[in-house]
Amino acid sequence: MSYVDGFVCAVANDKKAEYIELARKAAEVFKRCGGIQVVETWGDKVPAGKKTSFALAVQCKDDETVVFSWVWWPSKDIQKAGMEAFMEDPICDSANNPMPFDGSRLIYGSFNVIVEE
């Protein structure tokens, strides 16, 4: 059964182009490591919420936008090997490739796909 890694972060609006550039490079690496599909989305209608919301979860500031992303893998085993390979790739070296967002506010998780239509 398929497996998905999901990510939510807040990106400064003036760093959107930098984020897209990094996301495209990361997508190439994810696919080279076995990912089937990589999707990056820039928030459009993301309600702030009072108790829970994407924005609250990542402490989104007024000059930032919520980004929601996922990597689709063919299986959990391929994801495990793929993520290990991804983390070894130079794209993950923050000294040479700094993230255009605050990684401490990144939320991520891995999920078993239970419905796939």
Q: Which amino acid is at 47?
A: P
pTM of full prediction above 0.85:
yes
pLDDT, tens digit, 9 for 90 and up, residues 24-82 = 999 999 999 999 999 999 999 999 899 999 999 999 999 999 999 999 999 999 999 99
Q: Is 9 exposed, middle or buried (0-12, 13-18, 19+ CB in 10 A)?
A: buried
Structure tokens at 43: 């928030």
Structural domain 3-112, CATH architecture: 2-Layer Sandwich (3.30)
Measured at the CA of 26, the angle between CA 98 and CA 22, to 5 degrees, comes to 45
Shortest CA distance to 7 belongs to which of 107, 112, 79, 87?
Answer: 107
